[in-house]
Structure 1
Amino acid sequence: MIEIDLMNKADRFAADYIASVKTRRVFPDDAAIKGLTRFDEELPTQTSDPADTLNLLDEFGTPATVTSNGGRYFGFVIGATLPAAAAAERLASAWDQCGSSFVNSPVAAKIEDVATKWVLDILDLPRESRIGFGTSATACGLSMLAVARRALLKRKGWDIDADGLIGAPEVKLMVSETIHITIKKAARLLGFGLNRLIVAPTNHDGLVDLAKLPEIDDMTIVCLQAGEVNKGGFDPFTQIIDIAHKAGAWVHVDGAFGLWARASAAKKHLTTGVELADSWTTDGHKWLNTPYDGAMAICKHADEFAETLNSDAVYSTAEPFAQKNLVLEFSRRARGIPIWAALRSLGRQGVDDMVTRHCEQAQRLSHGLRGIGVTVLNDVAINQVLCTLGDSLKNEALLKSISASGEIWFGPSKWNGDDVFRLSVSSWRTTDEDIDRAIAAIEKALATI
């Protein structure tokens, strides 16, 4: 069959690519990027052999990839994909299931239900919570803020579903000075207004300063961070959540990558109190190393969650906690399947080992960088290493040199208005040797500046 031959060929191309990640450039060279012009075609008029399309994709697409699926990529907290998760994704893609509800896919509904239980277990979050397996922490965060706002308005007797927001009591959103841009994006889309956000001052580590905490009342959504994006720190959850709940507020925690510190026996203490919140978001495609488009919206108030995102139609009703009632999408692929596969293949100890190892490797990296004259700006509590050469032009020159070398890759950031650069250790493929190669590559680049 043509279809089977085509899939087998795609699998061969994919296998060859995976086999090359240890040796290929981390960032493509100029020739590979120029080769992308081969895709500049007019829309074909006639049907063609599907194999020709696949060949084009491999010949000119593969060389222009960033090898984020390898061990020497240190940008953006992007983890490689675990073999079990990648294989499960491949099989689930062949199944071509619409993972919206049990009637559309009994297998997807069952596996994602099991994945829900396992995620709540390994992250030690309230077991009555429900999880929507969405595309990203961005989409999941937007969902959780919508649930929070609806719940607070409902407590005041306002039906936002029927009456909208015109004339409604104001719901306030409190964020920290270092809150991630995706929360600000959600705030814009939901109409909170960036100029109306209540901004909590932060300390030198970018964490909410308890001594300067703004006033919180029963119409406030408080958004905290598990894993500040630059220094990797954790807000003081226990104290702030206690204050917020006594006032009647809702607490949401953005834990896109840092929430997985709870899976490490050595690092769980950093997250003490986070389980007291009302909702959380985290990604599988960061520190759990699942394929992209794999994130989780987690909410302790299951009924409020499902009511807010309910999408039952006259032709498509489903069980209350069907995934279509827990995510933004009505039709969706079962993103929880590779998350289930990653957890099943690693087990509790495997996840602990991976997270702990990355934290230790980040320490190894920070020590090595200090030894070659790089200033490390954080205490490296988990897997983030924030650095500077003390000069914006030198930082920029270093980044250009590293990118051109193809040996490793990491990116720029800002801290207190200054240009800095950030390295994240989050790939299951990263070895201590890769860390040492990264240090050597940076030392070599420094010699050219």
Structure 2
Amino acid sequence: SRLEEICERWIVSLLGFPEETAAGFLSGTTIANFSGLCAGRNELLRRRGWDVARKGLYGAPKIRVVASADAHAAIHKSISMLGLGSENVELVPVDDQGRMRADQMPKLDEAALVVTQAGNVNSGAIDPIGRICEHAHASGSWVHVDGAFGLWARALPSMRKTCDGIEMADSWSLDAHKTLNVPYDSGIIACRHREALMSAFKASASYFQWSEHRDSMNFRPSMSARARVIELWAVLKTLGRQGVRRLVEQLCENARSFARLLAEQGFQIHNEVVFNQVLTSCDDDALTRATLQNIQRSGECWCGGSTWHGRAVIRISVCDWATTPKQIERSVRAFVKARAMAAR
């Protein structure tokens, strides 16, 4: 629990969150999203005089969920588990990079859970979260940020403008086992309303023995968990603020180099490379899919496939701290060779 207190303080400082922010340490962003949305749902109902922990959802005031049309599947899974119904989500249109369009937001109110993204799973794009928060908070809504890998952009001074206003949100989810390269599994839920997070998960029994320090189960759904915070503490302690910045900037620089070198070899680049994601393709979908299959079989590097604006694309996520510029060049050569084999 002492290490959790330390890591909470370090993360709040590193990412520029409000000082009162609480953090829970759990398995990953899926359960972190669930936790943030659960705290938000319960708090919105509490403000309207409904104790969902005691009364449940039967007869409760309606909760709305407003999310990006390009929200991650983990968001819809969490909404489903919370009993809010994935079919009830009000989807907001996105721009050509997958960013939620703040000018297309529906009219909000005190019943709305608004879900934003810091890092589109395909393009890496970050929603205009500050503008969305201003609109949402004026209406009494709760704003959650799904920041699995992209929220670490907050650590970079060069990304401050892109990340402007993220600190205004009510809750944030992120993974340490992605961008930060902490061993699996290591997710984080952060919430500016400490009592809202704790009240969502607190429990009591006659045999519980409370300590004078933090009780971890009050900040996450599970009562039992491994001491995953030890690895997170070790990485943060070793890297420090400047080390985290160097790590994240290195990933971004490698992604930009990857995109530039692929473009020089005639591959199409479909996204603005704002973080560590690159979307690329060949001249047609069939060639793209065959090229991807050859890359995966080669063992030179690993990337997956996706669909972007109706096109088959190869999704590159540069996320390993050990990747060097030479290995980026080697990977590009593997792409070129795989495309040549597919074109025969």
TM over 0.5, yes or no? yes
Q: Match for 1:165: what amino acid? A: L
Q: Distance in 1 between matches of 2:53 and 2:256?
A: 49
Q: What secondary structure does 1:330 align onto?
A: coil
2:279 is matched with: 386
Q: What secondary structure does 2:161 align onto?
A: helix
1:121 is matched with: 13
Q: Distance in 2 between matches of 1:417 and 1:145?
A: 31
Matches within 5 A, 1:296-445: 296-318=188-210, 321-445=214-338
1:275 is matched with: 167
Q: Distance in 1 between matches of 2:281 and 2:232?
A: 35
- Which has the higher mean CA deviation after the structures are superposed, 308-317 or 332-341? 308-317
1:79 is matched with: none
State whether residues 369 and 439 of structure 1, in contact with CA within 8 Å, keep that contact through their aligned partners in structure 2.
Answer: yes
Q: Distance in 2 between matches of 1:332 and 1:195?
A: 32
Q: Distance in 1 between matches of 2:202 and 2:87?
A: 30
Q: Match for 2:143: what amino acid? A: V
1:176 is matched with: 68
1:244 is matched with: 136
Structure 2: gaps of 5 or more residues: none
State percent identity of aligned pairs: 38
What is the number of equivalent residue pairs in this alignment?
341
Q: What secondary structure does 2:25 align onto?
A: strand
Q: Match for 1:417: what amino acid? A: G
Q: Match for 2:124: what amino acid? A: G
Q: Distance in 2 between matches of 1:223 and 1:210?
A: 12
Matches within 5 A, 1:90-109: 109=1
How far did residue 130 of structure 1 move? 0.8
Aligned pair 1:215/2:107, yes or no? Answer: yes
How far did residue 312 of structure 1 move? 2.6
Matches within 5 A, 1:95-244: 109-244=1-136
Matches within 5 A, 1:47-86: none
Q: Deviations over 1:331-351 (max 9, x none)?
A: 111221111111110111111
State whether residues 312 and 318 of structure 1, in contact with CA within 8 Å, keep that contact through their aligned partners in structure 2.
Answer: no
Q: Distance in 2 between matches of 1:292 and 1:309?
A: 23
Larger Rg: 1
How far did residue 321 of structure 1 move? 4.6
Structure 1 outlier segments of 4+, above 6 Å: none
Q: Distance in 2 between matches of 1:217 and 1:266?
A: 34
Q: Distance in 1 between matches of 2:232 and 2:5?
A: 11
Structure 1: gaps of 5 or more residues: 1-108
TM (normalized to structure 1)?
Answer: 0.74
Point out which structure has higher relative CO (alpha carbons under 8 A, 6+ apart): 1
- Which has the higher mean CA deviation after the structures are superposed, 320-329 or 294-303? 320-329
- Which has the higher mean CA deviation after the structures are superposed, 410-419 or 289-298? 410-419
State whether residues 306 and 321 of structure 1, in contact with CA within 8 Å, keep that contact through their aligned partners in structure 2.
Answer: no
Q: Deviations over 1:72-113 (max 9, x none)?
A: xxxxxxxxxxxxxxxxxxxxxxxxxxxxxxxxxxxxx11111
Q: Distance in 2 between matches of 1:155 and 1:403?
A: 51
TM (normalized to structure 2)?
Answer: 0.97
How far did residue 135 of structure 1 move? 0.3
Q: 1:197 to 1:383 in 2, by over 3 A?
A: same
